[in-house]
Structure 1
């Protein structure tokens, strides 16, 4: 029986790369690009974030990179680059370039280079002197190279504006207008945008002539791979609700959205203080820190990332399992971009929105405009969190039982000894005891949060418990037995809860789930370790640390309590749609 090749229309060198990469079929936007009429048409692509638009563009751009059958010349020409892709952020530029490199790897002579702000401009100039076939860059740095005449624009045959709506949101209108003046008139111009408000359409009409509109997934049509969940909460319970959702999502890669830079830092600190290793990702980080943080998130070293909307535009990680909206999105476009960070490349994902009681009507309008059928659910309870841990533990146990190679000879030998011991213990008792020891016992078990009924609003009588803080000893969550330790590292020497948590996990060979409250003081800080892990942690911590030899850890003497600096009260305005209940106008805030 003859089967249809799903990549039949893809050029041969690209087809080989796609198959080698493990793809089984094209996404709807990729099929739409292949089936579009007229090879020389300008494409105006609208599709969901994470729908494979970069690969779709690569298929289209290959027309000017693959030599003709009767032409032995390679794609790279001495006159300059042939393809230009403009992206809003450095992170996105790097990721787009990486995607195109493997896609074009089998085309002889095609080099892909990146030029972005914050990078070594001398290295970029050397790369440009070699006339790479494909150039990816951010607007500001591209314009710098164009003005200095280091970049020959006359050779460009195809130009792409990627995530055009985001570039305009970030204030790159002037740079884009200036870049257009340098580009040759005889070119193909492609524009990609998840949303097409009026301001984007105006730019598109100036940038393109007679475009063919390609819709991979129609605007307003929900991504079927994303489960949308909404939790009604009281504003004072926001942090507790986020902690419960994260505990319930243990082992998943989670991206949490906030509106402002300060919110990213503050939330990461609070989560880390509660034993959840979280890293902020915003414009407050320098480029080296941003790259290191993003790579840790991609590689699975960091499971929780707290990002501003602006900074997250450079994040393209297919394996994000859950997106949490810590504050209400500014509009439907904002919600679409945030949620689109999960459920990518055919994977399932979950978008979780924290909805203050007074914002229910606004959120419902956002869902309706986005074409989303959300599930309104209570915040996961401590009992549900415990059940999830147990379920995960039992799943892992059955996986080991199904593969005997995962069990060491040492453990097999001791199991035999237990079964053959003179006391003749019941095998059921032995097995139950081992299960009791092996099942994980997280220090933080979650907060009890009363369910908020539909249509209820915020009032003084409906207030829940205060937000869990990262700087005080008061804690309302349910914990197992813990041992308190102290470390000679305080805020005066740059200690933060997240830095201490990272040090403890590395030095003590433990996971963040085994760390309880971290209390910061000026000269030293204290922290909690679960009783079950404390002995092994203490033994590991006694060993000299090669990376931080001056940091010493010891059991707390019982009366050692760091002095706590009073935390300034946040500004409270009329609107409380942003994280922490701060007054923020829709769409406002500093660049992340």
Structure 2
């Protein structure tokens, strides 16, 4: 048993050692060091700091203190209910708790979420799981229908509480808490705590113990933040260049990328455009069926796809190993969203990069947002095509060096040189018989060249706008105010204006008084309407003489535009 886990119960210590843990993160150590296991906890720590395991430690201590439940398994009430905002996060938390509570007696874990069969979930709940993880709406449905008994539940955990309130789950959360009146502990977990969460916590928690793994609002130092100011019409081209540069690595080093958009429709549109460019991408949003979302996450974890285009809600709390890049295709709306988005990378001590794409007119707002989130971002240009091509050339040369290194290893081990049917030496001599070594090497290098899935784009550097957006007709023109060489200096107040001929302002073309000026057309000028008398008469119209006779008849008045009798 590791000395770092000496204060933990033996069941948890053995599990953590088997899982490969060498030490606990600050938030996990803080939960482990709490004096009493019956206190309400308000856990806050930056994303990727191990809050789920920290909550699991608190749950495990409570279950060990209560001991196994008595009675038949059928219809037994759960001891712990844990709520999450999304289905994917619920499934992820269930997997984490299953291995963490594996050696604790009577600690089965089940999950209930929307988008799945209600009847199958009720059958599983009838087996009496000790811990139930679920989304608020579905769990309240089961609780109201009597699928399980909440009267004996002692612990309720609200994971990502601020996101659940933002998604409009306040009524469901309050309904669940009201139906579990005898709970002993109510834990709230989040990377950020808004004012609304604080008010709800004050209503349902008593004397909570605040646990901060990192100071509230402190940015993750393992994440590098980069910002590119790009016009909206060049935003997709900028995204393509960023993804191409991220993929210019050896296959074993290629990380995964999360691209955040504002709406669900944008996830589909951006993902489809990326696929057309040869980039393996899939959308992730609440509009997709649960089965498709599950398949997408599985393909993302196994490396079948390298990019997911998601909304804030769909990707909230997801913990996928190897996410090295987060791209904010649409800028975040506030500092909390920025924190949660960026926290999908740089987890568990790994390094990550967060890239912001913002229009010029939003720069000041984003700078204030970054300041509120205590994030220092580096503003710079989008990766240029030359940089991307150079990165792929280096990748090809790395493969050459790796192949040469492998050949040297074969020479060190003579038993690997000769293999049945190996005529490589004969083929080499044949290639060099009537060709120079330089020509042969050049031809082989061309075969090893690595090309990006699509050509990199030329992205025009956005102009820095201050104040209002300039009109298109003013682009490239000198400012309207300033020195006018054709205008005499203005006199001071009280001085007479200088008399003299008006300055020549360079009017184009000759004046109307000039003998070379063209006569003004009688039809109304350039493109103007012709006069009434010049219009051709309608073929069915009466003669003009008859019209004049009608107008001069007594008792008839004509008005302009319409005959009103």
Same structural fold, with TM-score higher than 0.5 when normalized by the shorter chain: yes
Q: Tell me the distance in 2 between the aligned counterparts of 1:132 and 1:409.
A: 61
1:380-399 matches, cutoff 5 A: 380-399=383-402
SS at match of 2:457: coil
Aligned equivalent of 1:162: 159
Whole-Å separation in 2 of the counterparts to 1:255 and 1:173: 28
Is 1:188 the counterpart of 2:198? The answer is: no
Q: Are 1:346 and 2:349 matched, yes or no?
A: yes
Q: Counterpart of 2:354 in 1: which secondary structure? A: strand
- SS of 2:259's equivalent in the other structure is strand
Change (3 A) 1:425 1:379: same
Which residue number in structure 1 is paired with residue 235 of structure 2?
A: 238
**Contact 2:192 2:217 (C-alpha < 8 Å) held by counterparts:** no
| Residue from 302, 305, 317 that aligns with 2:305 | 302
Instruction: Decide whether aligned partners of structure 1 residues 88 and 275 sit closer, same or farther in structure 2, where only a CA change above 3 A counts.
Output: same
Query: C-alpha separation between the residues in 2 aligned to 1:377 and 1:76?
Result: 65
Alignment of 1:94-173 (within 5 A): 94-173=91-170
- 1:288 equivalent in structure 2: 291
**Which string of whole-angstrom CA distances, capped at 9 and with x for unpartnered residues, describes residues 194-241 of structure 1?**
211111111111221111111112222110111100011122111110
Which residue of structure 2 aligns with residue 448 of structure 1? 458
SS at match of 1:30: helix
| Post-superposition offset of 1:330 | 0.5
- Cα distance change on mapping 1:254 and 1:414 into 2, 3 Å: farther
Q: Name the structure 2 match of 1:54.
A: 52
Matched-pair contact (CA < 8 Å) for 2:262–2:312: yes
When residues 409 and 335 of structure 1 are mapped into structure 2, their CA distance, relative to the original with a 3 A threshold, is: farther
Answer whether contact 2:151 2:181 (CA < 8 A) is retained: yes
Deviation at 1:412, TM superposition (A): 11
Work out whether residues 158 and 189 of structure 2, in 8 Å CA contact, stay in contact via their aligned partners in 1.
yes
Distance 1:409-1:443 versus aligned 2 partners, 3 A rule = farther
Give 1:448 deviation, angstroms: 1.5
Aligned CA RMSD, in angstroms, stands at 2.9
Counterpart contact for 2:255–2:322, Cα < 8 Å: no
* Conserved? CA contact 1:77–1:133, under 8 Å: no
CA distance 1:38–1:441, shift in 2 (3 Å): same
1:260 aligned partner: 263
1:433 to 423, 430, 443: 443
How far did 1:450 drift? 3.1
Where 1:153 maps in the other structure, the secondary structure is coil
Q: Is the 8 A contact 2:156 2:183 kept in 1?
A: no
Q: Deviations over 1:79-124 (max 9, x none)?
A: 4211111111111100000011111122233211001111112221
Name the residue aligned to 1:325.
328
> Given the alignment, which residue of 221, 225, 249 partners 2:222?
225
Query: Gapped runs of 5+ residues in structure 1?
Result: 464-592
The residue aligned with 1:206 is 203
Rounded to whole Å, the distance in 2 between the matches of 1:444 and 1:289 is 27
Give 3-state SS (helix, strand or coil) of 1:84's partner: strand
TM-score by length of 2: 0.76
Is the Cα contact below 8 Å between 2:155 and 2:183 reproduced in 1? no
Higher alpha-carbon Rg: 2
**Equivalent position of 1:417 in the other structure:** 426
Residues of 2 paired with 1:414 and 1:258: CA distance? 55
Gap change, CA 1:411 and 1:210, over 3 Å in 2: farther
Q: Measured at CA, do residues 412 and 195 of structure 1 come closer, stay the same or move farther in structure 2, by a change above 3 Å?
A: farther
Contact kept, 8 Å, 2:153 with 2:182, in 1: the verdict is: no
| Per-residue CA distance 1:155-176 (angstroms, 9 max, x = gap) | 2121100000000011000000
Q: 1:319 to 1:416 in 2, by over 3 A?
A: same
Match of 2:21 among 5, 20, 23: 23
- 1:33 to partner: Cα distance: 1.2
Q: C-alpha offsets along residues 241-277 of structure 1, whole Å, 9 cap, x if unaligned?
A: 0111011111331110001111111111222222222
Question: How many pairs does the alignment contain?
Answer: 460
Gap change, CA 1:4 and 1:12, over 3 Å in 2: closer
Cα separation, partners in 2 of 1:428 and 1:16, compared to 1, 3 Å: farther
Displacement of 1:375: 1.1
* Aligned ranges 1:59-74 → 2 under 5 Å: 59-66=57-64
CA distance in 1, matches of 2:451, 2:228: 26
SS of residue paired to 1:65: helix
Aligned partner of residue 378 in structure 1, secondary structure? coil
Question: Helix, strand or coil for the counterpart of 1:441?
Answer: coil
**Contact 2:68-2:106 within 8 A present in 1 as well:** no
Q: Helix, strand or coil: the match of 2:58?
A: helix
**Paired residues of 1:75 and 1:110 also in contact (CA < 8 A):** no
Task: Give 3-state SS (helix, strand or coil) of 2:175's partner.
Answer: helix
Structure 2 runs not aligned, ≥5 long? 248-253, 411-415, 476-565
Pairwise CA distance, 1:443: 4.8
Distance across 2 between alignment mates of 1:156 and 1:429: 77
